A and B are shown apart, each in its own frame.
Chain A
Amino acid sequence: MFNKDRWDEILQALATNKFRTFLTAFGVFWGIFILVLLLALTNGLKNGVTADFGDFATNSMFMWTQRTSMPYKGMPKGRNFSYKLDDVEAIKAQVPNLKYVSPRNQLGGFMGSNNVTRGTKTGAFEIYGDYPEYINQQPMDILQGRFISYSDINTKRKVCVIGTDVVKGLYDKGEEVMGSYIKINGVNFMVVGTFKMSNSQGDREQDANTVYIPFTTFGNAFNRGDNVGWMAITAVDDVTITSVKQQIFDLMKSRHKVAPEDDRAIGHWDLSEQFERVNGLFTILTIVGYFVGALVLMSGIIGISNIMLIVVKERTKEIGVRRALGASPWTIKGQILQESLLLTILSGMVGISFSAFMIWLLNYLLDSSGPVENFANPSVNMTVVFTALIILVVSGLLAGLIPANSATKMKPVDALRIE
């Protein structure tokens, strides 16, 4: 397989028919090009859509309270209620398979008024009361200092962790941020850390416009007591949040005297369910990509098989001569197989390279023109490339098999007789 003379023979045979070789190779080149490009575009679409989910732990849901819609146990309908901190403990204790249960409170927000001041500078930011686990649900990069800790929670320290945009808004360039104080709604907080969102893409500005303070401090400083605004709940990796959320709802309903069938009293957003839905869509799209790409590739393979058949036919006499000179059937077969393998792999490689170039070009254009809605970073992973290569090798062998067999099927004497 790997001797130089065989290669010389093959290259000689291919070089004698340059144009035909080129046309044959083009079929496979085109097939693999389409396959890789289709998968890359699917991936780009997927990246674009899933970017909207951010990188919040996807096996999560958010849960908040709404007005009750039914009277129950002497309580009227249309009643407001609120989760308390001990609800969090109760969930942690009574519902299995949960990884994190983070109670949250918020101050300020969309189009909010100025609520943070530092000296003469002011800004409108989102203030969240959080537990230390929250950073595991919403990954962020701590640039300086640290995130909120349990000792902050326990001693209700007035400390805060601020986003990069908060730093930009409240500090002069080069000013020391750590250990300085900012005033949130009139209460002084010491800055113990700064952060930015991981993998921040253009639209994440809002997230960096955020100030995190310990949940317990939040309750004290802003008169929330142990009320919980909403909860971010993440399930363990091999159990979906969708499958356990009903248990949580039931628990909350019983603790707050809400009718068991009153589904409107508890609001929630199941990230996992939405994510799965989108993921399922893209799984189908990927399969379609593979399918269509493979079909296009197949027509290329058939082209190679066809050409190899013609080559064998044209060279019937030559093959007869070679056999008269002592070429064994396997030498002939091996040569034809290797020839078709070389053609497929070589043109496949060129196809993969060319599609890689196209993907690079697309990314370059996307980068220079700014983000496009629902489309980001088209790419294929190495698995796809290797799969494509394996498909190529297998199909190269298949393409050569029929011609190789027909080459040695004839008796040498008949092969020699053909003009």
Chain B
Amino acid sequence: MGEVIVVTSGKGGVGKTTTTANVGTGLAKLGKKVVLIDTDIGLRNLDVVMGLENRIVYNLVDVIEGNCRIKQALIKDKRLDTLYLLPSAQTKDKSAVNPEQMKKLAEQLKDEFDYIIMDCPAGIEQGFQNAIAGADSALVVTTPEVSAVRDADRIIGLLDANEMKQIHLIVNRLRNQMVKDNNMLSSDDVVEILGVDLIGVVPDDEQIIVSTNNGEPLVGTEALAGQAYMNICRRLLGEEVELLDLNGKKGLFSKIGNLFKKN
């Protein structure tokens, strides 16, 4: 029996789609059978982040309206055999689907997949209600900024009101040097303010942009963000994984510099 996870944030542009792509790909790399569902009807994005935009025939709304069978709409990933994408419709709007229909779809997919991951649209309107309807747990993504944390708090309130059983927090795009200089909220600050369980911290990493450009999620690569996402996947599977050292690899010169600093 599969688990349905919704990736949500309230605020736009904090990394929901990137997180969905990387967590989904990571779980598949760890041997799980995963389907990603883009629930942002009208603003399709997950397909390009996954590099699967040229393979779309049917979409979520086609499945809901019964124009095709679920299997016909699922796109198999380029690299991983156990990873599938159900893309969103680009020409419809959010009202094309309702929460009851999404719940039913999630139930059907649970027989076939270990993880069903819903990429939620920004906002708290119908698109949000659709995305959370069938979910067993939520990954709330925020960045260490006042606006994003405020919206995350609102989302957590709404998830509680909808009796979401489990809520995990991902602090995305953390800049370690700025935190050290006390010019950015730390992940501890964000956890203290929001009062939910932290499942991972993802550093701000240029490689994320490169990976999105290429349509290849970087989870599991040497890049710091890739390691951070893989750690999140392991924690989702119940492993105890220490938080990543965000200082990262340093060149010889800065290592020598550090030696002097200590003395």
A and B associate in one complex: no
Q: Report B's interface with A, CB cutoff 8 A.
A: none
Q: Report A's interface with B, CB cutoff 8 A.
A: none
